[in-house]
Structure 1
Amino acid sequence: MDFMLQYLSFFVIHTDGEQSTSSSGRRFKHYQTLDGDDYDDSEIKKFLDEEFVRIVKRKVERNPNTANAPTKVGRFMVEPGYELDSNQNYNLFQRLREADSKERFIGIADELVRIYMDTSAVRGGAFIVALSKLNTFFDTPFLFLLKCDFEPKIARISDERSLISHVEMAISARSIKSIQYPHMPEEGIMEPWELKIHQASHARYFEDFLKYVSYEKPLPEVIGEQVVEMVHQYIADKWQDEGGAERSEEENAVEVWASSEKRELQEWWSHEQVEAASAALVEQKPDLPFSFKLDAVTVKGLLSDFGGSIHFAKHNGRYVVVIEGDQFQFDRGMSPIELLQPRELTDVLPLIGSRVSEQDVDSYDTQSNAVQRDGEDDSPPW
């Protein structure tokens, strides 16, 4: 990617502790602002050029699998009927993008850092505000905000006499938090309503900083809402204008089920109904994850596996999960199970729900398989 930097302001934030929640213990200093020519001759170019590319290329899910996903898409919030320029965060970003001189850029960047300093938790480090064009696709620039925390106890080899020199303020690309505006969902496409935010830390510094930006719900929450909506639609179709107390009872049961953190199998729908509902969700997102626990055993797969390679059943009053596939694969923790010659499923089914002892299982195996030859020892070799 061919970036051409226009302006870059470098600030350093100091706090009285590792993480300061009091504005009185925080201060910042503007170190330098560079234009394109200054940047090309600077050491920081080597540090940041690859970082700009990494930020732009970083993949992001609009609906992440978890609320704590490090990379998110944010969208500027506006009241119904209003345009983007009614959003304070957007206006600040846009003024930076439209800065036509180094002095103008410094002034607005300083304003932005002051706003950042008022967030709930600020750590010492470098704060970089950069404006750069991606010549490959656009004439208009991207705005990059980067926060690099200080790395404590960094040392370097200095010379043959002192050997080790301590670096008081060292920053590392490993912990960079970033904001990219506008978001580029696909190469060559700019989305002016959206930005991309990356913060590996759980502290959510940038989310606190951008008070007028919203984020899409995580995928489990979105899917959960759709499933509940499907159930309500099913109840509406089932009872239509009838039902009375029975309908209310079903609707209340749905609300209790939907609000529970840990849920059990409800047994409300047939296999065919569940397959149809699952197919509707998989059509939206083919790689939709699916996981569950049967007692203490956890199984993880894809929702598209249900009915194909993952089957639920009941036998002798017990729940059964059948997972079919072409081969087993074991990772760490070698066990004797890896040496197993599996039984036929028809031989296992009579054991389910019978709570048989180990001795009974051995007896069952002896009867259902070929009788051992006299004198043959089939015990393990240890």
Structure 2
Amino acid sequence: MDLRMQFLSFFVIQSESEKGTSGSFKAFKHYQTMDGDEYEDSALKQFLDEEFIKIVKRKAERHPNAPNPPTKVGMFIVEPGYELGSNPNYNLFQRIREADSKERFHSLSDELIRIYMDTSAVRGGAFIVALSTLNTFFDEPFLFILKCDFEPKIARIADERQLISEVEMAISARSIKSIQYPHMEQDGLLERWELKIHQASHARYFEDFLKYVSYEKPIPEVMSEQVVEMVHQFIDTKWQDTESVERAQEEQAVELWAASEKRELQEWWSPEQVIEANASLIQQKEDLTMSFKLGNVTVKGLLSDFGGTVHLAKHNGKYVVVIEGDGIQFEKGMSPIELLAPPELEDIIPIIGTAAEAAAAAEHDHDRIYESGSAAAGHDRSAYTQNAAEQGGDDDAPPW
């Protein structure tokens, strides 16, 4: 990837944690702004070039599979009927991209870091604003905003007598936070309404200074909303425009179910209805997942597996999950289960749901045997006592 630097501004942020004070101290200092030639001859090139390539190649989903992913796509917010030029964050980014001198780039980068310093959880470190082109695709520049936190307890090798010397302000590329604008979803395809943000941790403070950027909901949240909407549509179809106590009870049950973090099987729909509803979700995203627990066992798979290789049923009052496949694989810790010669399914079905009855029967047999044994032991003790009395001794030795 042919990356050509145009301008780069390097700032250092100091906060109260670095100063060791109890007040709300935070400040920044501009160290240097350089053009492309100066960057080529600087130590920053070796430090950052690979990071810029990683940032560009890093993939991000508009609808991530989990909440607060480290890399996400942000979209500039505009009022209905207005264009991108009405968004303050976009306007600043565009002015930086259009900078034609070091002085202009430094001035706009200074404006950007001042906005960042107004966020609630600023931490010390290096703040870098860079403008670079990727000549592999086009000449249009990318804006990169990077933040490297200070690394605690860093030392470097000194001489034979001193051994090590303390480094006052060390930064590392290990956990760089970054913003890239514009977002390039595919090679050569720019999304001018979007930027890409990356944070190694799930903290939000690096994105909080972009007040006019929004992020799409994660897939589980989107899917949950659509499922609830499907249930409401089902109720509307079932009752038409009829208002009744039964309909109100069903709607209330839906609200309680949707608001619960841990939900149980509702038994409202047939397998065919569930498969049809799944299909409408899978059309939007093929790799949607499902996860549920049966007792202490967790089952995970694709939503498309339901009705095909994963089946739910009831037998003898118990829930049953049947998972079919061509083979079973085990990982890590061995167990005797790996040695099993599986019986046929029809041999297992009769014992499903009978474990409680078997346990109760075993307990009953245990109690009966215990009572029988106690009676026999009492008889032996009586015989022994009588025999000892007949011998006229006070021998307290055990019977054995």
TM-score, normalised with respect to structure 2? 0.86
Letter in 2 for 1:231: V
Aligned-partner Cα distance in 2 for 1:6–1:158: 36
Aligned-partner Cα distance in 1 for 2:252–2:20: 46
Letter in 2 for 1:105: F
Residue of structure 2 in register with 1:158 after alignment: 158
Cα 1:360–1:5 shift into 2, 3 Å: farther
Aligned-partner Cα distance in 1 for 2:325–2:241: 46
* DSSP-derived class of the 2:60 partner: coil
* DSSP-derived class of the 2:227 partner: helix
Q: How does 1:114-263 map to 2 (within 5 A)?
A: 114-263=114-263
Aligned-partner Cα distance in 1 for 2:172–2:107: 27
Aligned-partner Cα distance in 2 for 1:206–1:134: 25
Between the two proteins, the alignment pairs up a number of residues equal to 361
Residue of structure 1 in register with 2:56 after alignment: 56
Aligned-partner Cα distance in 1 for 2:215–2:275: 31
Deviation of the 1:360 alpha carbon: 9.1
TM-score, normalised with respect to structure 1? 0.90
Aligned-partner Cα distance in 2 for 1:94–1:279: 42
1:116-144 CA distance string (max 9 Å, x none): 11111111111100000111222221100
Deviation of the 1:264 alpha carbon: 0.7
1:182-215 CA distance string (max 9 Å, x none): 1111111111111000012222122211111100
Letter in 2 for 1:347: D
Deviation of the 1:22 alpha carbon: 9.2
Residue of structure 2 in register with 1:41 after alignment: 41
Residue of structure 1 in register with 2:78 after alignment: 78
Residue of structure 1 in register with 2:14 after alignment: 14
Cα 1:274–1:93 shift into 2, 3 Å: same
Aligned-partner Cα distance in 1 for 2:83–2:22: 35
Asked whether the equivalents of residues 16 and 22 of structure 2 are also in contact (C-alpha less than 8 Å), the reply is no
Aligned-partner Cα distance in 2 for 1:281–1:192: 28
Aligned-partner Cα distance in 2 for 1:264–1:19: 53
Aligned-partner Cα distance in 2 for 1:112–1:19: 23
Letter in 2 for 1:287: D
Cα 1:23–1:184 shift into 2, 3 Å: farther
Q: How does 1:361-380 map to 2 (within 5 A)?
A: none
1:78-137 CA distance string (max 9 Å, x none): 111111111111111111111111001101111111111111111111110000011122
Aligned-partner Cα distance in 2 for 1:23–1:332: 52
Residue of structure 1 in register with 2:297 after alignment: 297
Aligned-partner Cα distance in 2 for 1:214–1:20: 35
Cα 1:259–1:164 shift into 2, 3 Å: same
Q: Which moved more, 1:332-341 or 1:24-33?
A: 332-341
Asked whether the equivalents of residues 282 and 304 of structure 1 are also in contact (C-alpha less than 8 Å), the reply is yes
Asked whether the equivalents of residues 75 and 214 of structure 1 are also in contact (C-alpha less than 8 Å), the reply is yes
> Structure 2, unaligned stretches of length 5 or more?
363-400
Asked whether the equivalents of residues 239 and 247 of structure 2 are also in contact (C-alpha less than 8 Å), the reply is yes
Residue of structure 2 in register with 1:285 after alignment: 285
Residue of structure 2 in register with 1:91 after alignment: 91
Aligned-partner Cα distance in 2 for 1:72–1:302: 23
Asked whether the equivalents of residues 20 and 123 of structure 1 are also in contact (C-alpha less than 8 Å), the reply is no
Aligned-partner Cα distance in 2 for 1:159–1:83: 61
Aligned-partner Cα distance in 2 for 1:354–1:214: 54
Cα 1:8–1:35 shift into 2, 3 Å: same
Deviation of the 1:159 alpha carbon: 3.5
Deviation of the 1:348 alpha carbon: 1.2
Asked whether the equivalents of residues 310 and 323 of structure 2 are also in contact (C-alpha less than 8 Å), the reply is yes
* DSSP-derived class of the 1:175 partner: coil
Aligned-partner Cα distance in 2 for 1:21–1:62: 41
* DSSP-derived class of the 1:331 partner: coil
Aligned-partner Cα distance in 2 for 1:46–1:159: 25
Aligned-partner Cα distance in 1 for 2:288–2:80: 32
Aligned-partner Cα distance in 2 for 1:212–1:20: 34
Q: Is the aligned partner of 1:346 residue 2:346?
A: yes
Query: Over alpha carbons, which structure has the higher Rg?
Result: 2
Aligned-partner Cα distance in 1 for 2:343–2:21: 62
Q: How does 1:327-338 map to 2 (within 5 A)?
A: 327-338=327-338
What CA RMSD, in Å, does the superposition of the two structures yield over aligned residues?
Answer: 2.1
* DSSP-derived class of the 1:173 partner: coil
1:347-368 CA distance string (max 9 Å, x none): 111111101548999xxxxxxx
Deviation of the 1:173 alpha carbon: 1.2
Aligned-partner Cα distance in 2 for 1:209–1:97: 19
Cα 1:341–1:42 shift into 2, 3 Å: same
Aligned-partner Cα distance in 2 for 1:21–1:245: 64
Asked whether the equivalents of residues 13 and 27 of structure 2 are also in contact (C-alpha less than 8 Å), the reply is yes
1:218-241 CA distance string (max 9 Å, x none): 110100111111111112222222
Deviation of the 1:156 alpha carbon: 2.3
